[in-house]
Amino acid sequence: MKKKMMVLLMAMTLVLAVTGCGKKAEQNAENSGVAGGEAAVTVEVADSADVLNKVWDTFGEDQKFAAMGGDFTNPVDGKAGLFNMADTESLTYMLYIPADNVAMVDEAASLLHMMNANTFTGAAFHLTDAANAQALTDALKSNILSTQWMCGFPDKLLIATVNGEYVVSAFGNAEIMDNFKAKLTEVYGEAAVIVVDENIA
């Protein structure tokens, strides 16, 4: 009888241990973004504006500047805002995405220096297909670098991907850009991949 009880107790312990291990492995897979055997690091974001605001919110009070987001019809004061995707002309004019590439994204947001967009212009685009990240990066880089600037030259250009599904572009004053890059990598860690980081002038 004692032997049977001992075997039953060991069997129950083994079942509980296996169940616990399975649950822990499942949690670890979820936490690390592992799905179907592929490692993927992601940070939860609500939308394109949130991608920029998570970075902006880490700026110290002495690092922030008068900023606005959104577009002409729906401006947002002091933070990033979503852009009207139907307004292709403003998307191209304000966020420098070529008209031919607008179909690659289904959402966009902006964060701009209120006094001079060349001091800082930031944009985040949600890709309709993550496979288009490099094509959009190349198009943005080419368009921004070929711009005929007025009211002073921006110093630096940065383009990164976040979670593999967002493309973030920013250009402006060197000090602001260095801070933006540092905060972007601080907030998103391995979920952010810097693709372009170069001087404009």
What pairs with residue 171 in β-bridges?
Answer: 121, 157
Strand ranges inside the chain, DSSP E: 67-70, 75-77, 81-82, 105-113, 120-127, 156-162, 166-172, 192-199
Buried b (16+ CB within 10 A) or exposed e, 18-39: eeeeeeeeeeeeeeebeeeeee
Strand ranges inside 116-191, DSSP E: 120-127, 156-162, 166-172
User: Is there a single domain that holds both residue 35 and residue 74?
Assistant: no
How many domains does the chain fold into?
2
71 neighbors 87 (Cβ within 8 angstroms): yes
User: Is there a single domain that holds both residue 60 and residue 132?
Assistant: yes
User: Is there a single domain that holds both residue 58 and residue 138?
Assistant: yes
User: Is there a single domain that holds both residue 73 and residue 129?
Assistant: yes
What pLDDT is stored for residue 124 in this prediction? Answer: 98
User: Is there a single domain that holds both residue 174 and residue 78?
Assistant: yes
What domain range includes position 159?
48-199
**pTM (2 d.p.):** 0.80
User: Is there a single domain that holds both residue 36 and residue 52?
Assistant: no
User: Is there a single domain that holds both residue 54 and residue 114?
Assistant: yes
Burial grade of 119 (CB within 10 A; 0-12, 13-18, 19 or more): buried
What pLDDT is stored for residue 8 in this prediction? Answer: 35
User: Is there a single domain that holds both residue 32 and residue 52?
Assistant: no
User: Is there a single domain that holds both residue 121 and residue 191?
Assistant: yes
User: Is there a single domain that holds both residue 133 and residue 100?
Assistant: yes
Q: Distance between alpha carbon 42 and the CA centroid of its chain, in Å?
A: 10
- Which residues in the chain show pLDDT less than 50? 1-39
d(CA 174, CA 180): 10
User: Is there a single domain that holds both residue 8 and residue 98?
Assistant: no
What pLDDT is stored for residue 40 in this prediction? Answer: 65
